C-alpha cells in the first residue's frame, strides 16, 4: 500500500482532481460501451416479439 490513510488516498498528493477525473470519465465510457449493445439487444428482441405476435394474430 503506498498510502497511509484513506484521506491520503483520495488526495493523491494534490493530484486527486486529475487522477479521479481521468478514472471517473473512463469508467463512464466503459460502462456506456457495455450498456449500448445490451439495450440494443433488448430493444431488438422486444420489437421482434411484437412482430411475431402480430403475425400470429393474423
Binding residues (CB under 8 A) for another protein: these are 1-3, 9, 12-16, 18-19, 21-23, 25-26, 29-30, 32-34, 37-38, 40-41, 44-45, 48-49, 52
**From the CB of 32, what's the least distance to another protein, in Å?**
8
Phi and psi based region of residue 3 (left: phi greater than 0; alpha: psi -120 to 50; beta: remaining): beta
Residue 7 or 38: the one with the smaller Cβ distance to another protein is 38
**From the CB of 53, what's the least distance to another protein, in Å?**
9
Report d(CA 52, CA 25) in Å as an integer: 40
Report d(CA 44, CA 50) in Å as an integer: 10
Amino acid at each position: 500500500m503506498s498510502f497511509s490513510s484513506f484521506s491520503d488516498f483520495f488526495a493523491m498528493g494534490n493530484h486527486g482532481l486529475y487522477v479521479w477525473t481521468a478514472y471517473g470519465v473512463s469508467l463512464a465510457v466503459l460502462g456506456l460501451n457495455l450498456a449500448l449493445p445490451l439495450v440494443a439487444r433488448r430493444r431488438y428482441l422486444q420489437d421482434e416479439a411484437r412482430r411475431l405476435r402480430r403475425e400470429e394474430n393474423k
